[in-house]
Amino acid sequence: MAKTRFAYFCQSCGHESAKWLGKCPSCSQWNTFVEEVIEKDNKSIPNWKTASTTLQRANKPVKVADITFKEEHRLLTPDNEFNRVLGGGIVAGSLVLIGGEPGIGKSTLMLQLALNMPGIKVLYVSGEESEHQIKMRAERLEGVSSLKSQVESLNVRSKSEIEHPKSEIGGCFILTETSTQNIFKQIEELEPDLVVIDSIQTLHSAHIESTPGSVSQVRECTAELLRFAKESSTPVFLIGHITKDGMIAGPKILEHMVDTVLQFEGDRHHVYRILRTVKNRFGSASELGIYEMLGEGLREVSNPSEILLSQRDEPLSGITISTTLEGMRPMMIETQALVSPSPYGTPQRTATGFDTRRMSMLLAVLEKRCGFNLGAKDVFLNITGGIRVEDPAIDLGLAAAIISSHQDIPIPFKTCFAGEIGLSGEIRAVNRVEQRIAEAQKLGFEQIFISKYNLPSGGHDKKGIDLSRYKIDIKVVSRIEEVFEILFG
């Protein structure tokens, strides 16, 4: 019998050590090492029988020119926002990790996805909730009643009663189990097209003698699921917990093992949720999807500007509209500023949804290049909608909002901005300005301020597209003084 081996693992990054250490040499965190018992049995590696496992890959060097590439087939879901975040759909054999705060809606999102996949056999494995709890949530979700065939296939069964359906094309099946050996046994009998694990921290493998949720258990269970996904070409979705710091619980290597990492963000006191791509091997890593949490489930928001722009009857000072890009999606956001005399000796600088250091840079440019006395004023910035924006194209809109609040002069509501401000007061060019202009025109804006460096010559941008075809009034400026002269005279 193999001798039991003890090891110490860092609960933050997963670094393994033969003895206890006060400070982790990998992530520099203190008091994160925990002793765990490790005992592996290589003879009982989980086995699964699928048609794709008969294909044996030759572990030999292959010349790049000799590699035959076939266009990957993506599985489209009824959720367009989810397809966008994944890069165009679910890739066969991919391993996707979804993290988020407790109660944010991770399980609701994945169950809603499993119930609305017509013609696809989905196995939903839950280690946190009972079958009856999942059934109660499924009945509340929107669209479940209309998909009668899928609801009938959601008969609550124990893990020993799941059988391979011979007459059903697709459906959602529920399995309440935490042992990976039993899960793979049921997968072998059911042969699903999609597997959802809720959550990875609740699974445990018989090859590791540590408790569920430990570093070694999370790493081993993920490795087994990764091996299954790649050999059977079955996509697997993992739901992961996050720590109080907002990081996905478990070792950091967990995010490196999976193909895609999605972060489900939002405030539980607001109805809007953001699904953000952190890592994606099959598409862009800067996409996001926006949802609205309702009593019937999550509703996808196809037009994000509807939640980022407030409806008001009269113009107010300190409010401007800026254009930003999240991935390939242009959005119009409302930027708010409040400038008031400081009652204390040191003025306050507070920004919500925007970098405070960049706000200090904008204030220094306005004071140095434009002559506005903002050193003795309190300045507060806010990005509406509860999102955080890092696009430098909103610099011009924020500067205009600050001066609008400082002079108490409102800016017309049908005016928007797209430009980056340099330290010398110049308006720098931004990328994909055509998409920003088209989005502003589609939403009914009358004029937009852009940099003249986006138009090298003849009213054409760098790609040779004639911007005169747009109906919106395009204000081309080169310095920040020109913007304020047009707006405030």
Q: Which residues are annotated as a binding site for ATP?
A: 100-107
Residues in the chain: 489
Using CA atoms, how far apart are residues 383 and 387, in angstroms rounded to an integer? 7
Structure tokens at 246: 């907002």
Contact status, residue 57 vs residue 97, Cβ threshold 8 Å: no
Helices (H), 19-88: 80-86
Contact status, residue 470 vs residue 450, Cβ threshold 8 Å: no
263, exposed or middle or buried, with CB in 10 Å at 0-12, 13-18, 19+? buried
Concatenated DSSP letters for 400-441?
HHHHHHHHT-PPPTTEEE--EEPTTSBEE--S-HHHHHHHHH
Concatenated DSSP letters for 127-160?
SSS-HHHHHHHHHHSTTTTT-HHHHHTT----TT
Using CA atoms, how far apart are residues 140 and 391, in angstroms rounded to an integer? 38
CB count within 10 Å of CB 31 equals 11
Contact status, residue 108 vs residue 102, Cβ threshold 8 Å: no
The alpha-carbon radius of gyration of the chain (Å, integer) is 27
Residue type, 294: L
How many CA within 13 A on the CB side of residue 398? 30
220-228: list long-range contacts, CB under 8 Å, 24+ apart.
221/180, 222/95, 222/254, 222/257, 222/258, 223/257, 224/46, 224/180, 224/184, 225/95, 225/180, 225/195, 225/197, 225/200, 226/95, 226/257, 226/258, 228/46, 228/48, 228/184, 228/187
- The label of the residue with tokens 């004071």 reads 367
Pairing outcome for strands 16-17 and 5-10: antiparallel
Pairing outcome for strands 5-10 and 33-38: antiparallel
Concatenated DSSP letters for 329-369?
EEEEEEEEEEEEE-SSSSPPEEEESS-HHHHHHHHHHHHHH
Q: Which positions make up the binding site?
A: 100-107
Using CA atoms, how far apart are residues 59 and 287, in angstroms rounded to an integer? 35
Using CA atoms, how far apart are residues 199 and 99, in angstroms rounded to an integer? 10
Cα torsion 147, 153, 158, 160: sign: negative
